[in-house]
Structure 1
Amino acid sequence: MTSTATLPADGSAAPQKAGKREVWIVYWAFTIFYLALTIGVCFLGRATPPPRPDVSQAQAAAWFDQHQLGIQIGFTFLLMIAGGAAIANGIVGYFMKRMSSGKMLAYAYIATMGVGAIPGFQVILVCWLTAVFRPDREPRILYMLYDLGMLSYNGSLGCFTAAYTVVAIAVIYDKNHIFPKWFAYVTIWQIVTELLASQMWLYKSGAFAWNGMITLYLALVIFGVWITCFLALFRIAAKRESAQTPALYEPEGSR
């Protein structure tokens, strides 16, 4: 039996390895999006750390007046790049589809995060931009936009709880070792913080308010650890993906 390789028409040798360029493009888009999100939300929009929930109508209106320019610049920019959330979901789904736990969990993650992007990201942008668009509105209306934006941003629980649960299950049951098992247990802490954050709908001050030590700062620390691990693991997975040798040659046997 003899076998020959199918070569390109021009007779040149085919490359032995082909890097997954699109994986790296999306990886860097994911990283840059979260960096831009941090700048827009923390340094310009001032949503993190958040303003106080225990304020009067006049104080909420004065807060919008004080931070009008930052909100307009930061949140308008974030609206322009809001599609980056979908790209971020896509790369997670891409690697989850390579897990032995099945494609269904990958689709479930993409769907839940896609739904969660509206209350967890878009609503505060629209509410606060609306508030500073006409700062002469009645203070009670600005007060409602103030509360609605923050409660939606920090208190959108169900979609993200479902998404983190799906990731944890997929990693635990994966036999292809796309991500290490310990990352599933880090993700479970994300679920815990989402459940604790439900208390912000009941308290206007203290550890369980939207600016509280438990509902906010503990959650920020855990999220910081989680996203740092996620980015590092994505980088490792992307390098492994690039190092794979695709089947560029198709053996043709003849007897």
Structure 2
Amino acid sequence: MTAPVRRRNRKRDQWIAFWTVPVFFNLFGIVFVPLSWMMPPRPANSSTPQVVEFMQSHNLLIACAILTLSFGLAPLSNSVYLIQVKRMSVSPVFRYSIMIGSMTGAIVGMLFPMFCFGLGSFRAGYDPSILQLLYDFGYLAYIGSLGCFCVMWMAFGLAIILDQNNILPKWLGYYTVWQYVTELMAAPVWISKSGPFAWNGVMTFWFAMVLYVSWQIIVYVCIYRAIKNQPDDELDNARLHDDAPLVGAKA
């Protein structure tokens, strides 16, 4: 009698990467909101005493330490998307655009703000003008560098639209393109210091954030379904020898 074959979960690696996404975004949210209050953005026209008080906060150092430890989870979240794009019937240029865009965006949109805000609170007694410079640099890098993300997710949306394998729903592609066209509204932060197009403005930050958060949740659900429906024979690590008896099994 042949021993029953134990089927291995060939998607375990994908699921591990997939479940790091909510872990990363929750840590990211904790660091930027309740711990440091870097977000929502403080006004671009804050007074010098307000800037100094914020930049010399000890919580900024704790926030930067946590972000340093969790930063490595970001590539895992991007790899989840790239695996599904690889399955699509589109040119590899889309996959490479997403990959390079995510790398560029992480440097400018995460590392630069972290170093600016962390450096401001690292040593007490910095000149107020230096703290103002770091304050402006940190927020402009975080909110004013959305061009790389726009190109990155535009490639993601176009890949979905052009794909003939229907890995992800077409409506998600159109939604993605529309969502990231609206991110172009971040450009005026380099000009406006107050009003709806300042870095803390209704249009530049709040409107874009509402669209982004809802879009991110929807993409996450669609990626979950794509991984769940992916056939084992499409997996790079597939070794379909399920008909072979396990080592040590007795007939």
> TM-score scaled by structure 1?
0.87
The aligned counterpart of 1:38 is 29
**2:41/2:200 contact within 8 Å kept:** yes
The aligned counterpart of 2:247 is none
SS of equivalent to 2:225: helix
Residue of structure 1 aligned with 2:55, choices 61, 64, 67: 64
**Aligned letter for 2:47?**
S
The aligned counterpart of 1:202 is 191
CA deviations over 1:143-186 (Å, ceiling 9, x no partner): 00000000000010221111011011100011111110111122
- The separation in 1 between residues aligned to 2:87 and 2:117, in whole angstroms, is 40
Residue of structure 1 aligned with 2:91, choices 92, 102, 119: 102
**1:208/1:214 contact within 8 Å kept:** yes
- The separation in 2 between residues aligned to 1:73 and 1:189, in whole angstroms, is 36
Listed as ranges, the matches of 1:131-142 within 5 Å are 131-142=120-131
Residue of structure 1 aligned with 2:240, choices 234, 244, 248: 248
Residue of structure 2 aligned with 1:54, choices 20, 45, 54: 45
- The separation in 2 between residues aligned to 1:191 and 1:90, in whole angstroms, is 20
Q: How many residues align?
A: 238
- The separation in 1 between residues aligned to 2:85 and 2:201, in whole angstroms, is 34
User: For the structure 1 residues 247 and 227, does the alpha-carbon distance in structure 2 shift closer, same or farther, using more than 3 Å as the test?
Assistant: same
The aligned counterpart of 1:28 is 19
The worse-fitting range, judged by mean Cα deviation, of 45-54 and 124-133 is: 45-54
SS of equivalent to 1:156: coil
Note the residue ranges of structure 1 that are not aligned, 5 or more in a row: 1-10
Structure number with bigger Rg:
1
**2:5/2:242 contact within 8 Å kept:** no
The aligned counterpart of 1:5 is none
Listed as ranges, the matches of 1:166-177 within 5 Å are 166-177=155-166
**1:51/1:211 contact within 8 Å kept:** yes
Residue of structure 2 aligned with 1:185, choices 155, 174, 194: 174
Note the residue ranges of structure 2 that are not aligned, 5 or more in a row: 244-251
Identity of aligned residues (%): 32
- The separation in 2 between residues aligned to 1:174 and 1:78, in whole angstroms, is 35
The aligned counterpart of 2:206 is 217
2:227 aligned with 1:238, yes or no? Answer: yes
> How far off its partner does 1:141 sit?
0.2
> How far off its partner does 1:193 sit?
2.6
> TM-score scaled by structure 2?
0.88
- The separation in 2 between residues aligned to 1:153 and 1:142, in whole angstroms, is 16
Deviating beyond 6 angstroms after TM superposition, the runs of 4 or more aligned structure 1 residues are none
- The separation in 1 between residues aligned to 2:207 and 2:10, in whole angstroms, is 39
**2:52/2:131 contact within 8 Å kept:** yes
**Aligned letter for 1:154?**
I
**Aligned letter for 1:36?**
L
> How far off its partner does 1:101 sit?
1.3
The aligned counterpart of 1:121 is 110
- The separation in 2 between residues aligned to 1:100 and 1:119, in whole angstroms, is 31
**1:64/1:135 contact within 8 Å kept:** no
User: For the structure 1 residues 133 and 190, does the alpha-carbon distance in structure 2 shift closer, same or farther, using more than 3 Å as the test?
Assistant: same
Residue of structure 1 aligned with 2:153, choices 155, 164, 172: 164
**Aligned letter for 1:125?**
M
- The separation in 1 between residues aligned to 2:55 and 2:8, in whole angstroms, is 55
- The separation in 2 between residues aligned to 1:152 and 1:20, in whole angstroms, is 37
The aligned counterpart of 1:228 is 217
2:119 aligned with 1:130, yes or no? Answer: yes
> How far off its partner does 1:58 sit?
2.6
> How far off its partner does 1:17 sit?
6.6
